[in-house]
Structure 1
């Protein structure tokens, strides 16, 4: 158990490069170096984690711990993998809200914001090449994009409807058809305007916001299909547009902090929680968003190993993934406006140049996002000195 803890603490500290890099590192350590799993077990784990909602790399850590040492091993591996990145995001969140009014901080994030926008659009491009294989997928993506832009339908409801729509379209090819519709409604009863950030510990707010944070992020963690960046349209729609917990600028910068840190970008939840209710809000948001991943792996793995090849499950997920693409594209549009339209023409030109360079670096040269964010921050500082 000690070896399991040390391994995933190490991977949590050095886990830069995104989910695929995380999974490759786990495979190298658990399969090649230690022989804890054979290649077939590891490949099956990837298939299960890719099918599940939630961050796949974190679930692979939990899955590896589960096969190595049972339920306790799953808890140890998952917590140790998440913990270092959580501390980094917490520290960066404190620094951001403490010094966000300084000219240097504004200059840093002036260069970071267009890079984050490029990362989101680059993810859309890569995802479209993977999940759009027919006219039905194109239609689902476009309809989701339009509904996200011009209606107030909850994005999770759109994902469920898209999956069911694709499932119904396959009914003509199979007489064995069934999938439940799960009613879902996010709690927006504590919507506010221009929420100021709390004290470091957040003791003055946590009692009021504990259950809204817990409920919201637990539901988000239960429906993040398609990778960590899928969190962006859901968070942007809820915490910016409806709840007013963050401004668009703060949200963009929070996504950047999630990208800079090792570990999954889903830890952007800690940034949101910190803004709402300090340290205790960050803990609440983080635990809530990762709890479904632990439950899926620790409780449902034997069942998932049986049902992942069911045609109904595959068909449902084929409808969800293009809807995810449309939702991310819809979220990227207002975020791009916030990042690229600045106070002066000169600043707008500067950030547009950074955006184009980041997009080229991401798509053509496959530079990892955290490196692009660091370069963008340096360019932002450099432009401010001219």
Structure 2
């Protein structure tokens, strides 16, 4: 059976009509408000809404877009929203999808950051965050296991993960260099041993699922996706528009405030992060934490863990933890502004430097990505990068464990830190173990685990 599309042409009866811009906007707002649970939960929510329920995009195209968003720096879940919005309604659709994916969480994070800075030294708030820190450690460990199960399919992938862990923990190599090296290994390895490097990090859907077409597939067949074919001047035009949009305000603030100001530091550092944040939020957090705590002195290790706990409780991408870091940096270097105003402006600058590049990467590369279907070399590079991410997140888990469970950590050379065992906090260790059992064994959700850990922190602090 066939039905009529909005332009009067026939369309398969099992494929819905092309959504209007208003319908798409309402759905992106819904996804932005409900996108809890980190990248995995957000991607699952989009798959449910876009592929399973509305059939706006088919399974195969959804996975194709997701796999290549994994190759880009920045939060892959938000970039996937921008990608699908762009497929459906061109640039305007991508802008609306990406903005609504971030905005609800950004407002919540701003409120939580303000509350934290004003009241974090109150005994009750301190006790709550004591419990949250322990649960965050369990969340990161769960992320290591989840990504590892997906990525470490053979001994070569395990070796890449171990090498990445040693590179960042012992050798202190820059995160971007580790990502580049892993991608290069995967690219070259595919030429000589494709069986060890083939396959994407997310896998492929079943043949039956791949056969289920969506609205985007129908639009492609009718020739309505002309914007997915790159023109001769596409790259030049996008670069000419989006680089000034992204870096113009950052440069202007640096000039007005001075290159040594906290504003120049925030804009420059997070603009750099936007270029090198491959592998998702967990992968880059260790690098951000080390820079924010050690290099800039914006916050303490415990506060960095608190920030991640706050980000875990908000909708939107987990990388919103960077907003907390930017807020803290400006809050503590506020003069001549009030601390709350400075913190809010620091958070806004961080958001701009972090998320505007996501639109740039998609609008620049998506038309070319659409032409790279079934590219095995790129898929192999992605698989190797994801394996390296496992090692980097292991480093993050170890960093958190040392600073949550122990009160004192000392260096022993080669950049290696070990805990002072006499400084063990049995309450933190107990809460962390309970949170891991809840999440890994009992399959309790992240938000209930965080809430229960916060309440348990109150009880333990009272004792």
TM-score (norm 2): 0.71
Are 1:243 and 2:283 counterparts? no
Shift of 1:365: 3.0
Shift of 1:38: 4.1
Are 1:307 and 2:360 counterparts? no
1:377 paired residue number: 454
Q: 1: CA distance between counterparts of 2:137 and 2:119? A: 23
Task: Pick closer, same or farther for the CA change 1:28–1:333 going to 2, 3 Å.
Answer: closer
Contact kept, 8 Å, 2:51 with 2:62, in 1: the verdict is yes
Q: 2: CA distance between counterparts of 1:345 and 1:260? A: 32
Task: Pick closer, same or farther for the CA change 1:34–1:321 going to 2, 3 Å.
Answer: closer
Matches within 5 A, 1:199-214: 208-214=261-267
Contact kept, 8 Å, 1:206 with 1:281, in 2: the verdict is no
Matches within 5 A, 1:161-180: 161-172=181-192
1:294 paired residue number: 359
Shift of 1:5: 3.0
User: Which among 301, 324, 348 is matched to residue 283 of structure 1?
Assistant: 348
Task: Pick closer, same or farther for the CA change 1:136–1:90 going to 2, 3 Å.
Answer: same
Task: Pick closer, same or farther for the CA change 1:24–1:170 going to 2, 3 Å.
Answer: closer
Are 1:233 and 2:298 counterparts? no
User: Which among 86, 91, 95 is matched to residue 111 of structure 2?
Assistant: 91
More deviation, 31-40/374-383: 31-40
Shift of 1:273: 0.8
Matches within 5 A, 1:56-75: 56-75=76-95
Are 1:273 and 2:326 counterparts? yes
Q: 1: CA distance between counterparts of 2:56 and 2:150? A: 31
Are 1:112 and 2:132 counterparts? yes
What SS does the corresponding residue of 1:307 show, helix, strand or coil?
coil
Residues 183-229 of structure 1, C-alpha deviation per residue, up to 9 Å, x if partnerless?
Answer: xxxxxxxxxxxxxxxxxxxx989992334323322332333333332
Contact kept, 8 Å, 1:350 with 1:383, in 2: the verdict is yes
Contact kept, 8 Å, 1:16 with 1:262, in 2: the verdict is yes
Are 1:10 and 2:30 counterparts? yes
Task: Pick closer, same or farther for the CA change 1:242–1:307 going to 2, 3 Å.
Answer: farther
User: Which among 305, 322, 344 is matched to residue 252 of structure 1?
Assistant: 305
Shift of 1:267: 0.5
Q: 1: CA distance between counterparts of 2:399 and 2:424? A: 18
* Structure 2 unmatched runs, 5+: 1-20, 195-255, 331-342, 409-420
Contact kept, 8 Å, 1:205 with 1:276, in 2: the verdict is no
Residues 278-314 of structure 1, C-alpha deviation per residue, up to 9 Å, x if partnerless?
Answer: 1121111112222232122222112112336333322
What SS does the corresponding residue of 1:366 show, helix, strand or coil?
coil
Q: 2: CA distance between counterparts of 1:321 and 1:137? A: 9
What SS does the corresponding residue of 2:121 show, helix, strand or coil?
coil
More deviation, 101-110/42-51: 42-51
Shift of 1:21: 2.9
What SS does the corresponding residue of 2:451 show, helix, strand or coil?
helix
What SS does the corresponding residue of 1:52 show, helix, strand or coil?
coil
Are 1:264 and 2:317 counterparts? yes
Task: Pick closer, same or farther for the CA change 1:28–1:118 going to 2, 3 Å.
Answer: closer
Shift of 1:50: 3.5
What SS does the corresponding residue of 2:430 show, helix, strand or coil?
helix
What SS does the corresponding residue of 2:108 show, helix, strand or coil?
helix
- RMSD between aligned residues: 2.7
What SS does the corresponding residue of 1:8 show, helix, strand or coil?
helix
More deviation, 265-274/59-68: 59-68
Task: Pick closer, same or farther for the CA change 1:43–1:98 going to 2, 3 Å.
Answer: same
Report how many aligned residue pairs link the two structures: 358
Are 1:351 and 2:371 counterparts? no
Shift of 1:118: 1.2
Task: Pick closer, same or farther for the CA change 1:134–1:374 going to 2, 3 Å.
Answer: same
2:276 paired residue number: 223
TM-score (norm 1): 0.84
1:333 paired residue number: 398
What SS does the corresponding residue of 1:53 show, helix, strand or coil?
coil
Residues 302-351 of structure 1, C-alpha deviation per residue, up to 9 Å, x if partnerless?
Answer: 21123363333223223322221111212222321211124998982222
Contact kept, 8 Å, 1:156 with 1:234, in 2: the verdict is no
1:196 paired residue number: none
1:137 paired residue number: 157
Q: 2: CA distance between counterparts of 1:368 and 1:75? A: 31
Task: Pick closer, same or farther for the CA change 1:100–1:204 going to 2, 3 Å.
Answer: farther
Shift of 1:363: 1.7
